[in-house]
């Protein structure tokens, strides 16, 4: 492959976002030359890798952080619809013989379990709100210990019989191996003639006089250079730094804060066989949204596991396989105050993170025992869950605001776009990339692409 030739689209990063966009563009414009550039030696090594995320098909069934107000289900409903859009796209590709859902999508009922009168009252009201929405048809609620024990035996065994517990359950929840899905989507790209450059780290993005982007960096041979009409930066924690290097004003004042995670994992077949759900709870006060505790059934490479967490970790890396200088490389004079005020306005979060960092193995096990009282510490190992870049944006007064979810940034001339932020990005990759197509390629979308998409695929 001639690395100095011009591509129609270059995708920076080999994760779920770039893979989704690459597969879509391959279907919509089979004649275009699309090249994916990934710094690692294989795709899906960062946030998309199975053990670097919780594998939850985010559908609003159990994520309490989507509904801080139990009377307002709009955010949960929006996530539910977005995930259904993703599933319809995967089903479309499966019908064409390009994906095998059995390799990455597995049934795992989604549950909430809460303790104490305050949280029980909250969960009861949340259930009453969601049960009226057809997207949550089938959601169940119970305060009966025997019923909850049938839904999740490990959660109730060994628990004080006098403790008040409530739970909701939706049987249509899923566990998703986003790493396997990403690899399958990349194969759609490469099988159709798209390029895949592994071991290529992008370090420069410069606009040429002719309007194309010059993408440069390092590989094992030394230097490489590509040119592209359009660039998508789906590089996870590195995305902001690359967009800054591209000097697009749309990210002026933006910053990121590194947030790492670890999980406890159990692979004992006898334990795994007794838990088939994803059980979510309430996040501790001050915890970031991605720190909601959950006891998950996972299927990775065809093998079942249980996972509990997350436990916050700290590093100045913005990627699991990044550098300690990553965070500092994103600091600019125009985002220093934004980052500082974000930290000041979220002192509860700072205290939470410090507490997590000081937590002993005994304290970590105590958190697990809250959801699995009879857990045997010897059956659980602590694993790294990767790194996230928590997005911080300036408000009207140029003070920093922590942003949950993801934000798609598109340049004014639509020649470069990037995705910033974190969860529930992977589950909503399809609607995010459809938004990108509509914003970056409005003429193609209106004239042809919207007609090439199956009419029932993206209907809400």
Question: Which among 312, 256, 259, 304 has a CA at the least distance from the CA of 284?
Answer: 312
- Is the dihedral angle over the CA atoms 121, 127, 132, 133 positive or is it negative? positive
pLDDT for 73 beyond 60: yes
| Residue 282 is assigned to a structural domain of this protein | yes
pLDDT at 387: 87
Mean pLDDT in residue range 432-449: 94
pLDDT at 409: 96
Residue 4 — pLDDT band, cuts 50, 70, 90?
low
Mean pLDDT in residue range 9-13: 98
The CATH number of residue 159's host domain is: 3.50.50.60
pLDDT at 423: 73
pLDDT in tens, 381-426: 999 988 888 899 999 888 988 888 899 999 999 999 999 987 777 9
Domain count across the chain: 1
Mean pLDDT in residue range 429-446: 94
pLDDT for 2 beyond 80: no
pLDDT in tens, 336-348: 999 999 888 887 7
3-state SS class at 362: helix
Between 3-7, 171-175, 252-256, 359-363, the lowest mean confidence (pLDDT) is in 3-7
Distance between CA atoms of 172 and 169, rounded to whole angstroms? 9
pLDDT in tens, 288-315: 555 789 999 999 999 999 999 998 888 8
> How do beta strands 140-142 and 165-170 pair?
antiparallel
3-state SS class at 16: helix
**Residue located via tokens 């995670």:** 261
pLDDT in tens, 105-129: 999 999 999 999 999 999 999 999 9
Mean pLDDT in residue range 160-180: 97
Between 403 and 268, name the one with better pLDDT: 268
| Residue 458 is assigned to a structural domain of this protein | no
User: For a pLDDT cut of 70, what percent of the chain falls above it?
Assistant: 96
- What residues make up the domain containing 424? 6-452
Mean pLDDT in residue range 63-71: 93
pLDDT at 289: 56
Mean pLDDT in residue range 456-460: 55
pLDDT in tens, 204-257: 999 988 889 999 999 999 999 999 999 999 999 999 999 999 999 999 999 999
| Residue 173 is assigned to a structural domain of this protein | yes
Distance between CA atoms of 186 and 19, rounded to whole angstroms? 5
pLDDT at 205: 97
Question: Which among 118, 112, 59, 11 has a CA at the least distance from the CA of 428?
Answer: 59
Residue 285 — pLDDT band, cuts 50, 70, 90?
low
| Residue 86 is assigned to a structural domain of this protein | yes
Mean pLDDT, the chain, as a whole number? 92
Distance between CA atoms of 3 and 15, rounded to whole angstroms? 21
Between 363 and 376, name the one with better pLDDT: 376
pLDDT for 197 beyond 60: yes
| Residue 1 is assigned to a structural domain of this protein | no
Mean pLDDT in residue range 139-165: 97
Q: Residue 391 contacts by C-beta under 8 Å, 6 or more apart in sequence?
A: 254, 255, 256, 402, 403, 406, 407, 420, 421, 422
Strand partners, 38: 198
| Residue 10 is assigned to a structural domain of this protein | yes
| Residue 273 is assigned to a structural domain of this protein | yes
pLDDT for 10 beyond 90: yes
| Residue 159 is assigned to a structural domain of this protein | yes
pLDDT for 70 beyond 60: yes
Residue 17 — pLDDT band, cuts 50, 70, 90?
very high
3-state SS class at 318: coil
pLDDT for 1 beyond 50: no
């Amino acid at each position: 492959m001639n690395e100095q030739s011009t591509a129609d689209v270059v995708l920076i990063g080999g994760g779920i976002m770039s893979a989704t966009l690459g597969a879509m563009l391959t279907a919509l414009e089979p004649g275009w030359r699309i090249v994916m550039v990934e710094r690692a030696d294989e795709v899906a090594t960062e946030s998309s890798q199975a053990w670097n995320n919780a594998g939850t098909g985010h559908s609003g069934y159990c994520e309490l952080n989507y509904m801080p107000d139990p009377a307002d289900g709009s955010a949960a409903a929006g996530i539910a619809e977005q995930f259904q859009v993703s599933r319809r796209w995967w089903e479309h590709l499966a019908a064409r013989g390009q994906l095998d859902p059995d390799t990455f999508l597995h049934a795992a009922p989604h549950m909430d379990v809460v303790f104490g009168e305050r949280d029980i009252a909250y969960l009861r009201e949340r259930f009453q709100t969601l049960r009226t929405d057809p997207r949550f048809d089938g959601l169940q609620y119970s305060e009966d210990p025997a019923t909850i024990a049938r839904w999740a035996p490990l959660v109730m065994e060994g628990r004080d019989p006098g403790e008040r517990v409530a739970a909701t359950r939706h049987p249509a929840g899923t566990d998703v191996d986003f790493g396997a899905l990403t690899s399958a989507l990349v194969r759609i790209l490469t099988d159709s003639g798209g390029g895949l450059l592994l071991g290529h780290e992008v370090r420069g993005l410069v606009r040429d006089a002719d309007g194309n982007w010059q993408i440069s960096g390092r590989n094992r041979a030394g230097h490489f250079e590509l040119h592209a009409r359009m660039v998508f930066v789906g590089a996870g924690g590195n995305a902001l730094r690359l967009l800054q290097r591209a000097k697009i004003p749309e990210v002026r004042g933006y910053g990121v804060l590194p947030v790492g995670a670890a999980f406890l994992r159990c692979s004992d077949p006898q334990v795994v066989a007794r838990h088939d759900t994803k059980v979510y709870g309430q996040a501790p006060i001050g915890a970031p949204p991605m720190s909601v505790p959950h006891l998950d059934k996972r299927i990775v490479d065809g093998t079942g596991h249980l996972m509990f967490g997350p436990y916050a970790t700290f590093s100045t890396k913005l990627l699991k396989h990044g550098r300690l200088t990553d965070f500092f490389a994103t600091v600019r004079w125009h985002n220093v105050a934004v980052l500082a005020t974000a930290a000041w306005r979220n002192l509860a979060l700072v205290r939470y993170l410090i507490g997590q960092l000081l937590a002993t193995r005994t304290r970590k096990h105590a958190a697990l025992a809250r959801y699995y009282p009879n857990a045997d510490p010897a059956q659980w190992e602590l694993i790294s869950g990767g790194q996230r870049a928590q997005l911080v944006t300036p408000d009207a007064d140029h003070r920093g605001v922590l942003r949950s979810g993801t934000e798609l940034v598109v340049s004014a001339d639509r020649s470069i776009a990037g995705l910033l932020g974190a969860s529930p990005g992977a589950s909503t990759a399809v609607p995010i990339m459809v938004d990108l197509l509509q914003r970056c390629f409005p003429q193609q979308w209106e004239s042809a692409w919207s007609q090439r998409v199956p009419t029932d695929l993206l209907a809400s």
